[in-house]
């Protein structure tokens, strides 16, 4: 995947096209983690900052924020946010020798989800490389369990309304139209784009490979309208989620 080309193309319509984790976080769990790690003496890194949606949360809580992304089109929008303590840098964060700042805290929201597993490991290693000794990170990642659970919900909802699984419009399940080996690696489609989804147990294997020790594994929960355009009123908890991995340099 050419990430720079892909994300530059999306840049003009980013806010309409890309799911807003910050606005959709039902339990405001992100704010709790930002407050836990806040420090006006510390330097934070927004790893894959996009158009800077996290700046209003991070910039006031840290002395300095470095925001890095591969897409110059998105960085231009991020720079318009005009925070005095934020500096934006263009870089390929999957490049093992990319120049990184030394920081106390890394925030990374839905970036390490490329279709190439080795690039995702390279990015996790770069999170580790950027962290000072004692530094911590909060990393948001798509959940494979949530993806499967949403599909189960869709089938269950259809059954309740008298539609058998075999009669469901195939477009509704098009995210699963991938090879068997992609499916087994969590490489499923979101709006036609192959996106890496993680199992909880898989995170426990790969984070240590990147030199990151998991402190806690949490869910960022969203309403069902993040999955379905008109979910029925009875469709409540458990809600769909992304993983929020709190970790530190091992």
Ligand X SMILES: C[S@@+](CC[C@H](N)C(=O)[O-])C[C@H]1O[C@@H](n2cnc3c(N)ncnc32)[C@H](O)[C@@H]1O
Cα–Cα distance measured from residue 117 to residue 114, given in angstroms and rounded to the nearest whole number = 7
**Token digits of residue 150:** 């949403």
Q: Residue 97 — φ and ψ, nearest 5°?
A: -110, 20
Work out whether 53 is an interface residue with ligand X (CB under 6 A): yes
For residues 96 and 73, what is the distance between their CA atoms, to the nearest angstrom? 23
First vs last C-alpha separation in the chain: 30
In 3D space, the residue among 69, 106, 99 whose CA is nearest the CA of residue 212 turns out to be 106
The answer to whether 48 contacts ligand X (rule: CB under 6 A) is: yes
Our CB check for ligand X shows the closer of 71 and 131 to be 71
**Binding-residue total with ligand X (CB under 6 A):** 18
Judged by CB under 6 A, does residue 3 bind ligand X? yes
88 near ligand X (CB under 6 A): no
CB of 231 to ligand X, least distance (A): 23
Q: Is 196 in the site for ligand X (CB under 6 A)?
A: no
Does residue 106 touch ligand X according to CB under 6 A?
Answer: no
Alpha carbon distance 85, 52 (integer Å): 13
54-73 binders of ligand X (CB under 6 A): 69-71
Q: Interface with ligand X by CB under 6 A: which residues? A: 3, 7, 18, 21, 48-50, 53, 69-71, 74, 92-94, 109-111
């Amino acid at each position: 995947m050419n990430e720079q080309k892909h994300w530059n193309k999306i840049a003009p319509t980013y806010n309409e096209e890309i799911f807003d984790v910050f606005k959709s976080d039902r339990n405001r769990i992100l704010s709790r983690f930002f407050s836990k790690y806040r420090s006006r003496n510390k330097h934070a890194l927004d790893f894959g900052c996009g158009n800077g949606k996290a700046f209003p949360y991070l910039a006031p809580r840290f002395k300095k924020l470095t925001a890095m992304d591969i897409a110059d089109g998105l960085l231009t929008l991020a720079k318009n946010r005009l925070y005095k303590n934020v500096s934006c840098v263009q870089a390929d964060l999957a490049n093992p020798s990319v120049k990184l700042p030394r920081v106390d805290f890394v925030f990374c929201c839905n970036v390490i989800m490329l279709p190439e597993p080795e690039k995702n490991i390279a990015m996790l290693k770069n999170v580790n490389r950027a962290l000072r000794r004692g530094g911590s990170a909060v990393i948001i990642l798509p959940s494979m369990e949530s993806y499967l659970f949403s599909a189960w919900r869709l089938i269950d909802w259809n059954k309740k309304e008298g539609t058998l699984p075999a009669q469901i419009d195939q477009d509704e399940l098009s995210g699963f139209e991938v090879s068997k080996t992609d499916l087994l690696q969590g490489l499923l489609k979101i709006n036609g784009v192959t996106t890496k989804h993680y199992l909880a147990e898989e995170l426990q294997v790969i984070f240590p490979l990147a030199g990151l020790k998991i402190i806690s594994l949490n869910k960022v929960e969203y309403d069902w309208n993040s999955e379905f355009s008109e979910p029925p009123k009875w469709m409540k908890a458990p809600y769909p989620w992304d993983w929020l991995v709190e970790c530190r340099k091992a």
